[in-house]
Amino acid sequence: MRREFLKYLFEMPLLWLGIAVLAGLIFIGDTITDLEIAFAVLYVSVILLSVYSGRTGAIAVVGIACAALTILSYFLTRHGASQAGLFNGILSLIAIGATTYLAIKIEKSDATARQAQSELARMSRLMIVGELGTSIAHEVSQPITAIAANGNAALRWLAATPPDQHEARRAIERIVTDAGRAGDVITRVRRLVAQSSPSRDMCDLVEVITDVLELVRSEVRKGQILLRAELDTELPLVSGDRVQLQQVILNFIMNAIEALADVEAGTRELLVSAAAAENRITVSVRDSGVGVPPAMIERIFEAFYTTKPNGMGMGLAISRSIIEAHGGKVYAAPNFPHGTVFGFTLPITGETRG
């Protein structure tokens, strides 16, 4: 447990520095003021601050430390009536104990809720990946089998004595046709993904984004990412498929979170913004992560382009299809000074929120 605690200490240095400074100030205040003053009750704020660590173990350690400091300061305090001091001390200890207990309880139920959410986020990702994987495998396997068969045939025609160049050439032509078919299949599958359940409701993008942020809350917390959202509250509605738009934003944010995992904990920043200008709405997801090499920025939207060991390379390709099916455009650019900004623009259709 102590080693774990030390680990947290290094993971969230600012939070723990704040906690230590606050606890120190309260300890000094408690020790230099009279025993009659229940200064130690302020430790409650330290415990509440520790909730931000998101770890029940850490909250318990902070609670115990606060109780220990209260007792220590009772013995160190020089002024005041010791009986009143004892009474105040016990009162403070009860307050500290109760707060710690409640904070741990709240954090526990919060953790359960977060787990359910992250499960949901994972499931929805798995669902598309699963669906897509099956249909691609199914449709592409046929031309690929044909390509292999024709390749072997061509080799045999060429190995024959004398080599039959005419037949070999025909086999190779069939290979080219089949390769084209395999490419068409992938294009079709992509279009299919973008067009499945093509509902066109009036969507409130602020709501869509807020829902996604709720979904990734635990990932953001776990990744120790400083998340900011700048959402124009007067944003006009857009016509589109809410679930698909959610999927796009989720893809951008998951990518950003993954890109932030590789940079130092104190520098992980994520900014999600939505604003309207002229007759378009722009949504962007800006991260301070590892960034994309400039030469690669053209390729990342391609299907199956991935640099991740477990990546499908489909997230951005699907996102692009969805946005284009909505009459919009996706973009990616380097973020200054680190990271990448991904975003899309959608046309405003005229209706306002009501």
Ligand X SMILES: Nc1ncnc2c1ncn2[C@@H]1O[C@H](COP(=O)(O)OP(=O)(O)OP(=O)(O)O)[C@@H](O)[C@H]1O
Q: Pick the closer one to Mg ion by CB: 77 or 255.
A: 255
8 binds ligand X (CB under 6 A): no
Stretch that binds ligand X, among 145-153, 264-272, 274-282, 302-310 (CB under 6 A): 302-310
Tokens read off for 21: 């400074």
Q: Pick the closer one to ligand X by CB: 6 or 126.
A: 126
Contact call for residues 104 and 59 (beta carbons, < 8 A) = yes
Interface positions, 239-258, toward Mg ion (CB under 5 A): 255
328 binds ligand X (CB under 6 A): no
To Mg ion, the closest distance from the beta carbon of 255 in angstroms equals 4
To ligand X, the closest distance from the beta carbon of 289 in angstroms equals 5
307 binds ligand X (CB under 6 A): yes
To ligand X, the closest distance from the beta carbon of 90 in angstroms equals 53
Phi-psi region of 224 (alpha: psi -120 to 50; beta: other; left: phi over 0): left
Residue (of 315, 300, 303) closest to 184 by Cα position: 303
Contacts of 303 (CB under 8 A, 6+ apart): 186, 190, 313, 314, 317
Pick the binder of ligand X from 54, 63, 85, 289 (CB under 6 A). 289
Interface positions, 295-324, toward Mg ion (CB under 5 A): 315
Q: Pick the closer one to ligand X by CB: 51 or 259.
A: 259
Peptide bond preceding 337 in cis form (omega within 30 of 0): yes
End-to-end CA distance of the chain: 53
Contact call for residues 69 and 92 (beta carbons, < 8 A) = no
To ligand X, the closest distance from the beta carbon of 244 in angstroms equals 15
Pick the binder of ligand X from 300, 322, 330, 346 (CB under 6 A). 300
Measured between alpha carbons, how far is 68 from 79 in angstroms, rounded to an integer?
Answer: 20
Q: Pick the closer one to Mg ion by CB: 46 or 253.
A: 253
Measured between alpha carbons, how far is 202 from 43 in angstroms, rounded to an integer?
Answer: 49
Total residues interacting with ligand X, rule: CB under 6 A:
23
Binding site for ligand X (CB under 6 A): 251, 255-256, 259, 287, 289-292, 300, 305-308, 311-317, 340, 342
Give me the residues that bind Mg ion (CB under 5 A), please: 255, 315
